[in-house]
Structure 1
Amino acid sequence: MACVLATAFLVPVAAQAADEVNPDPWAGFNRPVFKFNDTVDTYTLKPLAQGYQKITPQFVQDGVHNFFQNIGDVTNLANDIFQAKPRAAGIDTARLIFNTTFGLLGVIDVGTKMGLQRNDEDFGQTLGYWGVSSGPYLVLPFFGPSTVRDAFAKYPDTYTAPYRYVNDVPVRNTAFGINLLDTRANLLSSEKLINGDRYTFVRNAFLQNREFKVKDGQVKDDF
Structure 2
Amino acid sequence: MSGSRIYVAIDTPDFERARTLAVRVRNHVGGLKLGLEFFCANGRQGIHDMADLGLPIFLDLKLHDIPNTVGKAIQALGPLDPAILTVHAAGGRAMMEDAKAAAPSGTKVVAVTVLTSLDSEDLEAIGLDRDPHMQVQRLTELARGAGLDGIVCSGSEVAAARRSWPGGFLVVPGVRPADGHSADQKRVVTPRAALDAGASVLVVGRPITQAADPDMAARAIEATL
Normalising by structure 1, we get a TM-score of 0.28
Give the structure with higher Rg (CA): 1
Q: Larger strand proportion, structure 1 or 2?
A: 2
Which structure is richer in relative contact order (CA contacts within 8 A, separation 6 or more)?
1
Normalising by structure 2, we get a TM-score of 0.28
